[in-house]
């Protein structure tokens, strides 16, 4: 054996074992959940509006993110704002994933999930908390939503609240459009907003 | 401000290296438990880790302590048998080796040499960092690693023959 080969032979003698690592990772996620140290669990789900990142604290669903937001960027923001103790741990997201599946299949008109609102505060949160009142298949204007939140003149602020909704799809900011019919800003882009409105119009 | 990365990224980036180190130091049977306990402990303490800390050295430090715990627990369970270091390499060829003879030869190294080889050559830590983990000086670690490599050079090429003899006996 060549003297210089031994270190690289060593690496080969203890090779990567991806299947084993995946199993150990899942075991870690289960143990972290059991020990109460999994501050944020996440998974991604496929949908007609692209892959969605779902993240939940122990209190409930805290973030839904479109691919266009950059899932890694969103996870880093969750680490900065909530806690870096974050794992890809699908079990906690079973109920949200199932309800979103039903929604995209046209079999669900409202979501029945515990929500963690901590990423939204003040007037924005007030606006978002009223959005479920805009029913499935309907739309409302930003002015109407500002009115629902108790500040009829705060139309721009209502628009900002919708555009920064941490829980898109589940909290239906896609149902809020301009009174002249323009579709308005949307986290997932205008095409995603149109897709959701079309889904709700036909289902 | 961007702070610590999500712990998932820590597992993704360092999980394979830590598993390699656990296997080298403990052998395949106990490596999984040591890995699991290492990352669970690390996740608990992650919030308190300094932002500029060397994450890999930190993880190997935790893995080293877990490996000591596992070894002590195993020693308490085990029935003592007479074993000299020179014969351990041969005895380790009992089918539990991960990828044949070199892994078996590593298993047969004395603990200090095995740790120095694993932490320096497999985890890629500088001798000074390894010394922080195992105690002693960087020079002592360098010597232990060199002794370990020399032993492997001696035992590794002959390990196949030794294994055959073992199998014939067995």
ipTM, two decimals:
0.92
B98 touches chain A (CB under 8 A): yes
- A193 vs B9: CA distance, rounded Å: 31
The reply to whether A173 belongs to the active site is yes
Domain definitions of chain A by residue range: 3-104, 122-202
For chain B, the domain total comes to 1
* Per-residue pLDDT, B130: 97
B100 touches chain A (CB under 8 A): yes
Q: Which of B20, B36, B100 sits opposite A24 (nearest CB)?
A: B36
State the average pLDDT over residues A77-101: 98
- A29 vs B86: CA distance, rounded Å: 41
Record the tokens describing residue B61, joined without a space: 């430090």
* Per-residue pLDDT, B137: 97
Structural domain boundaries, residue B122: 7-169
Q: pLDDT by residue (tens digit) across B31-65?
A: 999 999 999 999 999 999 998 899 999 999 999 99
List chain B residues with CB under 8 Å of A55: none
Whether the per-residue pLDDT at A26 is higher than 50: the answer is yes
Residue B122 lies in a domain: yes
Residue B154 lies in a domain: yes
B19 touches chain A (CB under 8 A): yes
Is CATH 1.10.10.10 what the domain over A122-202 is classified as, yes or no?
A: yes
Q: pLDDT by residue (tens digit) across B114-167?
A: 999 999 999 999 999 999 999 999 999 999 999 999 999 888 764 444 444 444
Report the percentage of chain B scoring pLDDT > 90.
63
Whether the per-residue pLDDT at B90 is higher than 60: the answer is no
Return residues 30-89 of A near B (CB < 8 Å). Answer: 31-32, 35, 37, 40, 42, 75-76, 78-80, 83-88
Task: Identify the active-site residue in A167, A173, A176, A197.
Answer: A173
List chain A residues with CB under 8 Å of B2: 76, 80
Residue B1 lies in a domain: no
List chain B residues with CB under 8 Å of A86: 6-8
Residue B47 lies in a domain: yes
Q: A3-104 in CATH: which number?
A: 3.30.160
A106 dihedral zone (left: phi>0; alpha: psi -120 to 50; beta): left
Whether the per-residue pLDDT at A66 is higher than 70: the answer is yes
* Per-residue pLDDT, B101: 83
* Per-residue pLDDT, A147: 94
* Per-residue pLDDT, B92: 40
Q: Which of B7, B100, B121 sits opposite A10 (nearest CB)?
A: B121
* Per-residue pLDDT, B169: 41
Q: Please provide the DSSP assignment of A144-188 as one string.
A: HHHHHTT-TT-HHHHHHHHHT-SSTTTS-GGGEE-TTS-----TT
For residue B65, give every residue at least 6 positions away whose Cβ sits within 8 Å of its Cβ, in sequence order, or none.
none
Q: pLDDT by residue (tens digit) across A110-165?
A: 999 999 999 999 999 999 999 999 999 999 999 999 999 999 999 999 999 999 99
Residue B2 lies in a domain: no
Three-state SS for A202? Answer: helix
CATH code of the domain containing B58:
1.20.140
* From A41-50, A109-118, B7-16, B80-89, the region with the lowest mean pLDDT: B80-89
By the 8 A CB rule, do A116 and A54 touch? Answer: no
């Amino acid at each position: 054996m060549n003297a210089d080969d031994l270190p690289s032979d060593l690496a080969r003698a203890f090779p990567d074992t991806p299947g084993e690592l995946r199993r150990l990772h899942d075991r870690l996620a289960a143990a972290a959940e059991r020990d109460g140290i999994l501050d944020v669990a996440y998974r991604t789900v496929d949908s007609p509006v692209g892959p969605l990142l779902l993240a939940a604290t122990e209190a409930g669903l805290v973030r839904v993110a479109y691919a266009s937001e950059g899932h890694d960027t969103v996870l880093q923001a969750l680490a900065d704002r909530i806690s870096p103790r974050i794992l890809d741990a699908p079990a906690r997201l079973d109920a949200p994933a199932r309800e979103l599946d039903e929604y995209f299949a046209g079999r669900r008109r409202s979501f029945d999930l515990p929500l963690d609102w901590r990423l939204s505060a003040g007037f924005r949160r007030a606006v978002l908390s009223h959005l479920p009142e805009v029913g499935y298949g309907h739309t409302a204007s930003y002015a109407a939503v500002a009115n629902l939140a108790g500040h009829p003149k705060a139309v721009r602020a209502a628009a900002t609240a919708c555009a920064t909704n941490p829980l898109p799809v589940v909290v239906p900011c896609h149902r809020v459009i301009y009174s002249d019919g323009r579709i308005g800003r949307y986290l997932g882009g205008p095409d995603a907003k149109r897709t959701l409105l079309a889904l709700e119009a036909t289902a | 401000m961007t702070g610590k990365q999500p712990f998932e990224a820590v597992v993704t980036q360092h999980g394979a290296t830590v598993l390699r180190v656990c296997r080298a130091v403990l052998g395949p049977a106990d490596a999984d438990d040591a890995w699991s306990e290492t990352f669970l402990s690390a996740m608990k303490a992650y919030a308190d880790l300094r932002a500029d800390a060397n994450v890999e050295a930190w993880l190997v430090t935790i893995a080293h302590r877990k490996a000591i715990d596992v070894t002590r627990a195993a020693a308490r369970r085990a029935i003592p048998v007479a074993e000299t270091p020179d014969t351990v390499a041969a005895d380790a060829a009992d089918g539990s080796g991960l990828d044949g003879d070199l892994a078996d030869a590593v298993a047969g190294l004395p603990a200090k040499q095995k740790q120095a080889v694993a932490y320096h050559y497999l985890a890629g830590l500088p001798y000074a960092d390894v010394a922080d983990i195992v105690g002693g000086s960087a020079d002592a670690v360098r010597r232990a690693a060199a002794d370990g490599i020399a032993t492997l050079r001696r035992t590794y090429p002959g390990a196949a023959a030794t294994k055959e003899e073992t199998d014939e006996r067995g």
